[in-house]
Amino acid sequence: MKLDKFWISVVVVLVAGFAFTKLVDNEFYFFATYVVLQGLVMAVAWNILGGFTGYVNFGSAGFFALGAYTMVALNKAFGLPLPVMVLIAGTLSGLLGLGVGYISLRLKGVYFAIATLAIALVLETVVNNSHYLGGAAGTYVIQPKESFIFDNYIELLFMFMLLIAVVATAVSRYLSASRLGMGLAAVRDDEVAAECMGVPTLKLKLISTTTMGIFMGLAGSLFPFFVTFVDPVSAFSLLIAVNSIAMPMIGGTAVWYGPVIGALVLGVVQETATVTISSELNLLIVGVMLVGFITMAPRGIVGLYEDYKAKRKGQNNG
């Protein structure tokens, strides 16, 4: 029954998104929503590894940029259809995720986190020195004139990102609710104990890192067509990495809907701040909210709500 409700919600969200493109003319809402959805995909992807498995990834921007630059390269070399290039970008980022999974054989905790950061730095150096990808100077990506059944290209990008967000959320929900999810939780709680109990920890970690990589790559894949100019500074931006961690932390890392809530709250606040106060305020907002939640509500908004619910239940029973 619960499964049905979720899938009904998925259909409703997709239909509503499509109706949104047909009923709303104001392009600003598509740009703003696209950014929020991009953050949502990154947050959900980060949480699959960081929240479910307990392996903290500081190199989110590296996976994002790999997706973005794969698109740049494919578009330049072959000019393939957008969905094909997106799938290839996601696959390559997934393969990088698989590689990161093998790193976790030897590295745990803070050392694993530092290794992921190092991977992002290595990728950035490669891009900086790749003339084909535009190097440090950056490169242009011209949006195609055709936008399928949509009125303009941003509506197409919005719809695509909505689809990726829905798939990422569905996969995250499946991982969290399934036997696989229990295995991931066992790895998070005590990897040695889980191994002794017969949990295939390596296999689970590889699934987790690969899935994380795929979705981060998918989130980055549309970025070149969104901004039309990609350079290493924006593709490997600090804000991307920080948001990927902050959104699940603020929403709650223990459940699949935590990062979704965190991404919607933080994303909307950031987009509002951009056009009301200052874009630079974004990092400050993220910082303040992150510190606030970590110190006062370490289980995020979901945790706050569960505490509130338990308190009400206690009062009613008393």
State both tokens at 295: 């110190």
Considering only 41-49, 80-88, 105-113, 278-286, which stretch makes contact with another protein by CB under 8 A? 278-286
Q: Which is nearer to another protein, 180 or 227 (CB)?
A: 227
The reply to whether 28 sits near another protein by the rule CB under 8 A is: yes
Q: At a CB cut-off of 8 Å and minimum separation 6, what does 253 contact? A: 47, 50, 51, 259, 299, 300
Across the chain, how many H-helices and E-strands are there? 15, 2
- Rounded to the nearest 5°, which phi and psi values hold at 140? -95, 145
d(CA 271, CA 252): 21
State both tokens at 22: 């047909």
Q: Assess contact for 22 and 152: CB atoms under 8 A.
A: no
The reply to whether 99 sits near another protein by the rule CB under 8 A is: no
d(CA 24, CA 255): 33
d(CA 50, CA 315): 35
Q: Which is nearer to another protein, 27 or 195 (CB)?
A: 27
Q: Which is nearer to another protein, 102 or 229 (CB)?
A: 229
The reply to whether 228 sits near another protein by the rule CB under 8 A is: yes
Q: How far is the CB of 283 from another protein (least distance, A)?
A: 9
Q: How far is the CB of 166 from another protein (least distance, A)?
A: 16
The reply to whether 146 sits near another protein by the rule CB under 8 A is: no
Q: Which is nearer to another protein, 19 or 105 (CB)?
A: 19
The reply to whether 147 sits near another protein by the rule CB under 8 A is: no
The DSSP output letter for 137 is: G
The reply to whether 148 sits near another protein by the rule CB under 8 A is: no
Window 30-49: residues binding another protein (CB under 8 A): 30-32, 35
Considering only 46-54, 74-82, 95-103, 139-147, which stretch makes contact with another protein by CB under 8 A? 139-147
Instruction: Give the count of alpha carbons within 13 A of 159, CB side only.
Output: 21
Q: Assess contact for 155 and 147: CB atoms under 8 A.
A: yes
The binding site for another protein (CB under 8 A) comprises: 25-28, 30-32, 35, 128, 135-138, 140, 142-143, 152-154, 223, 226-229, 231, 233-234, 237, 239, 261, 264-265, 268, 271-272, 274-276, 278-280, 282, 305, 309, 316
